[in-house]
Amino acid sequence: EIVLTQSPGTLSLSPGEKATLSCRASQSVSSNYLAWYQQKPGQPPRLLISGASIRATGIPDRFSGSGSETDFTLTIRRLEPEDFAVYYCQQYGISPLMFTFGQGTKLEIK
Amino acid sequence: EMQLLESGGGLVQSGGSLRLSCAVSGFSLSDYAMSWVRQSPGKGLIWVSSIGGGYGTHYSESVKGRFTVSRDHSENMVYLQMSSLRAEDTAIYYCVKDETPYNGIWDAFDIWGRGTKVIVSS
């Protein structure tokens, strides 16, 4: 089973700054089957990125994903007030037994 | 618009049972794998169970043998029958849809319901 470790646990930034969130896998993630989600309080998660770098429908282009194998990054350039939330990475693939989530990174306003 | 609407959550005693329902609209249920993901209070996301378009089912180790996922294409519904419930099953349960029609890959989740809360009292 692949374990996803996100860092940092909490990231404190100001609107307008750039956020860099990390997701590290304990083994290589096949075919870059890595997704990122955003969750705000009281809401379900929202898919931001799949395939490590493909933005989901309607996601602003200030969100970008990168990385491969064991190291993945979600970058949010020029933070907007609505971007402060918890972000999760997730692995998926040829079996649902591969569905694992990272523990989350909380992006908070500094 | 693609939507998922869960129902059936509530307060149940340890050892009891509940059936969660997920009403699907805006897409053809038969084309997509569907899953359930749960989130305990203040915690992260945990995959619970999945059902493919061909009705193949999969479960996390923590619920295997206690939970049963099913789907009814004629009613556009997905279900999660939960039995022998434990305090650690307390969570919000989300019904989720795979991003792309099933093609051998169990995909990222592009549509989430708002969730239904299950509380198991010991």
Span A11-54, pLDDT tens digits: 999 999 999 999 999 999 988 999 999 999 999 999 999 999 99
Q: Is A70 exposed, middle or buried (0-12, 13-18, 19+ CB in 10 A)?
A: middle
Confidence of residue A80 (pLDDT cuts 50, 70, 90): very high
Rounded-to-integer distance, Cα B92 and Cα B83, Å = 16
The pLDDT, as a whole number, for residue B104 is 85
Q: pLDDT at position A98, please?
A: 84
- State the best of B55, B99, B111, B116 to mutate against chain A, taking most chain A CBs within 10 Å: B99
Instruction: Return the residue matching tokens 């969730």.
Output: B115
DSSP strand pairing (B10-13 vs B116-121): parallel
Structural contact between residues A22 and A75, judged by C-beta atoms closer than 8 angstroms = no
The model's confidence at residue B105, banded by pLDDT at 50, 70 and 90, is confident
Strand B3-7 vs strand A63-68: parallel, antiparallel, or unpaired? unpaired
pLDDT greater at residue B122 or residue B90: B90
What are A's interface residues with B at a Cβ cutoff of 8 A?
A: 33, 35, 37, 43-47, 50-51, 56-57, 88, 90, 92-104
Mean pLDDT of chain B: 95
A96 pLDDT tier (thresholds 50, 70, 90): confident
Is it the case that residue B54 has pLDDT exceeding 80?
A: no
Residue A103's pLDDT is 98
B10-39: average pLDDT: 97
To probe the interface with B, which of A2, A99, A100, A101 has the most B CB atoms within 10 Å? A99
Q: What is the mean pLDDT of chain A?
A: 96
pLDDT given at position B65: 97
